[in-house]
Structure 1
Amino acid sequence: MLLNNLKKDLYHKSKLYSGLLKVRYLKKEQTPLVANLFITGRCNSSCRYCYVEIDKNPKREFSCSEWIHLIDDLYAKGCRMYALVGGESFLHPHIDELIKHIASKNVFLNLTTNGYLLHQHLEVAKLATEVSISLDGDEKSHDLNRGKATFAKAMKGIELAASAGIKVRLCTVVTKHNYEQLDFLLDYAENKNFFITFSPLINAADPRKQDASTMMLSDEEIRLFFQKLKDAKRYSSRIINSDANLDYMINYPLKYGEIIWKGTPKADYYSSPCPYGRFNYLFASTGEVYPCCIMWTSDCYTPKNIFVEGLDRAIDHASNGLGCQCCSFANAVDWDKITSLSWLAYGIKMTLLQNFNLFGRKDTNRRDL
């Protein structure tokens, strides 16, 4: 199983890295190399901070055949990584067929889920390059963030995926409820050989979740958390957030959540062009195309819809004239850095670590963080 996972991982990442290097060095802009497909607006959870517009009965979503057509069109345009998100991906009535179709292209496939329905789709989930499952801390902290009894369901899905040989990535949203859960999460990730991504709650964009604002960390707390995370990287190899990512957030010059616009005094804080709207796009289940999730939740951006404008015009619109230089969505930093040759070696190292745990814990007696 390990050798099969390594072979699949290296092959999928080689195609992704090849595309990334072409974007950087051959200047192939507006290539949808990475497609984040919000496969459905339906969800079986009620996370208090979610920014996705959950609709139990959406008026118009992509049909299975339309999703397949879009997946094929994006592949023809250079897409080499598909990320299936939601809502809850496994609530799409044809999710197994869509996963199989993407997997048949031998590209990187990330499947994001809360894990509740994984037992019904375990065999097809094995086709994904990796499966990202939400975990916000111990039972008390996780349930405060995501609802009563959700911890047990998430853990059941995580353990099931791991026992089936699926490469698992944990995804944690940091709030006032789980701010002190770093040790618990890192210990669990180290024991299970999982990797983990941390994303502090910065915007509570959904007006239906009025109490979400009470969960948000202050700017000082966010800054301190990123510093703790950077310190933790000296003791744990489990953290996916890079040092560059963490430094960017620690020193962010505006209030977290505020956008730095081109031509403003802070526009030189990060001079590299944002990857979102260049090779990384978000496709909503209702047809809208966004450059990123920040613009999804922003009143300053009006997307084009594939159903109305067509795919080319919708992507072109998401690629031009945004006016933003950078923001506190730190993933952009890692996507920019990963297109450099120096990060290729880092990527190979991380791939070996993820598949074989070659480097293990940096310090099994690390101090409390």
Structure 2
Amino acid sequence: RTLYYMLAIKAFNKPRYPFYVNLVINSRCNLKCAYCFGRYSNRNRPDWDYNDLEKLIDDLYDRGTRYILIQGGEPLLHPDLGKIFRYIDSKGIVTALVTNGQFPERIRNIPEIALLDNICFSLDGNREGNDRIRGEGTFDKVLESIRVVKEVHKTPIRLNTTITKYTVHDVDFMAEFVRENNIEWGINFLFKGDEILGEEDLAPEDEDIIRYQQKFIDYIRRGYPIFSTTKILRYTLNWPVPYTRKFLGKEESLRLMGKKAIECQYGNYEIVIDEDGRIYPCQGMQGMFDGKNLKEVGFDQAFKHLENKPCYTCYLVSMINTSAMINWDLNVIGETIRGTFRSRLWNKLAPSGR
């Protein structure tokens, strides 16, 4: 369903509309990850009210939204999460969840998790590197949450890895972990590039990022359950400026990359609605783009304001991969379809793992 709607955008020459929405339902978070793009643990604002969320979801559906990714903060801290899933599902909207995986018992006790297209946990590397960034004990909690989902809900699981200087050498560990546990895996880079832990810079050296991506591509070729594509990884491998610069404007993109520049569709067909009502093109633009608040100016004006985003392309893997599909890049579309079927088949046929 999701692929159909995505491809229909260009096939039917559809104008801008919020097909895919990252919906941030709260700012509360139990962790204080050094690289958090929204600095949610520093906020002190109430959760989205459930009744207000219902109205927003109705409005989004009428505007064409067919995929909602629920995130936070930490969404498992929202008291009405199960009701939210149930309501979105009743609209026929594909729903997914991103969580830090620190509440396995809450996961166990929310039956509506079985309705999700997938549940994505954050896991950055082995126990030492992951816990250094995300907090002591977080690695083991994610493992426990994975076991709960497999035993209770049978919902497809994804892992997202954010690469830092402390986890940039863990690609082999992560590849074997997802293979043994039959879990899809994707990677991303630091959203801003200047994140720090204490007084230490979290950004890896460029050569380490390149080696990580080269190994990642090799694991894709070997059939590991990875939901990125080799073409997009080659795109990020050949990023024309230092990796501390995540975004390029249109003029610079075309000058440095020519026709190879992939126009990002975040802000056109994919958006982020933050917990305070502000709308951003993507998570990476928080703090860099003055998003308008739909509660103050209305959805139409806040959405139209996204036309002023300063970026044209980036090397944030998941975002540029989705954008390439909307742009009808047949190589990316074909590889994504093959990878999805391979991963789902692997999940059905492979042993349960450790």
Pairwise same-fold verdict (TM > 0.5): yes
Displacement of 1:328 in angstroms is 2.3
Matching of residue 142 in structure 1 with residue 130 in structure 2: yes
Displacement of 1:213 in angstroms is 4.8
Relative to structure 1, the CA distance from residue 360 to residue 162 in structure 2 (aligned partners, 3 Å threshold; closer, same or farther) is closer
Q: How does 1:24-103 map to 2 (within 5 A)?
A: 24-55=10-41, 58-59=44-45, 61-103=47-89
Pick aligned residue for 2:184 from 164, 175, 195 = 195
Matching of residue 351 in structure 1 with residue 337 in structure 2: no
Q: Which has the larger displacement, 241-250 or 23-32?
A: 23-32
Distance across 1 between alignment mates of 2:119 and 2:325: 21
Matching of residue 104 in structure 1 with residue 94 in structure 2: no
What corresponds to 1:5 in structure 2?
none
Deviations 1:50-76 (A, max 9, x none): 122225663455311111111111111
Q: How does 1:104-143 map to 2 (within 5 A)?
A: 104-122=90-108, 123-143=111-131
Distance across 2 between alignment mates of 1:344 and 1:253: 24
Q: What root-mean-square deviation, in Å, do the aligned CA atoms of Structure 1 and Structure 2 show? A: 2.4
Relative to its length, the structure with more helix (as a share) is 2
What corresponds to 1:330 in structure 2?
317
Amino acid at match of 1:201: L
| Percentage of pairs with the same residue | 25
Distance across 2 between alignment mates of 1:128 and 1:239: 19
What corresponds to 1:230 in structure 2?
217
Kept in 2: contact 1:338–1:344 (CA 8 A): yes
Displacement of 1:110 in angstroms is 1.2
Unaligned runs of 5+ in 1: 1-13, 362-369
Distance across 2 between alignment mates of 1:262 and 1:137: 34
Displacement of 1:249 in angstroms is 0.7
Q: How does 1:165-180 map to 2 (within 5 A)?
A: 165-180=154-169
**SS of the counterpart of 2:115?**
coil
What corresponds to 1:256 in structure 2?
243
Equivalent residue pairs, number: 342
What corresponds to 2:273 in structure 1?
283
Displacement of 1:276 in angstroms is 0.6
Distance across 2 between alignment mates of 1:212 and 1:49: 13
What corresponds to 2:294 in structure 1?
306
Distance across 2 between alignment mates of 1:250 and 1:71: 38
Amino acid at match of 1:242: T
Kept in 2: contact 1:283–1:289 (CA 8 A): yes
Deviations 1:2-26 (A, max 9, x none): xxxxxxxxxxxx2x22321221122
Distance across 1 between alignment mates of 2:198 and 2:320: 30
**SS of the counterpart of 2:140?**
helix
Unaligned runs of 5+ in 2: none
